[in-house]
Each structure stands twice: as C-alpha cells, then as structure tokens.
Amino acid sequence: MTILYRIASRPAYLVTAFIVLIASIFLTIWLLLPGPPKTLTIATGFPD
C-alpha cells in the first residue's frame, strides 16, 4: 500500500509509471507481430 501511496503522491512517479506501461505494451506488440513479407511474391501472390 505504501508503494501506491508514493506513486499517487508524486506526479513524477505517476508519469514514469505511465510511460513504462505504454512502452512495455508497444514493445510486446512489436515483438509478437510478424514482420513484413520479404518479397513481392509473398506480399501479392503474383510472381515477379
């Protein structure tokens, strides 16, 4: 409970926690999504 009180009582902790949360969400999504196709054939289904 003291950690929650310290975070709520100091805006810098709140902003830092929010930025860390957003960054970790974006990093997780970026790591889980597959990369773009390497060739035009894979992307369109038509031969080059």
pLDDT by position in tens, the chain (length 48): 677 777 778 888 888 889 999 999 999 999 998 877 677 776 676 665
> Is residue 13 included in any domain, yes or no?
yes
Q: How many domains does the chain have?
A: 1
Residue 16 region, left (φ>0) first, then alpha (ψ -120 to 50), else beta? alpha
Q: Which of 4, 30, 11, 32 is closest to 19 using CA atoms?
A: 11
Please tell me the predicted confidence (pLDDT) of residue 19.
96
> Is residue 43 included in any domain, yes or no?
no
Please tell me the predicted confidence (pLDDT) of residue 42.
67
Task: Give residue 24's domain range.
Answer: 1-28
pTM above 0.75, yes or no: no
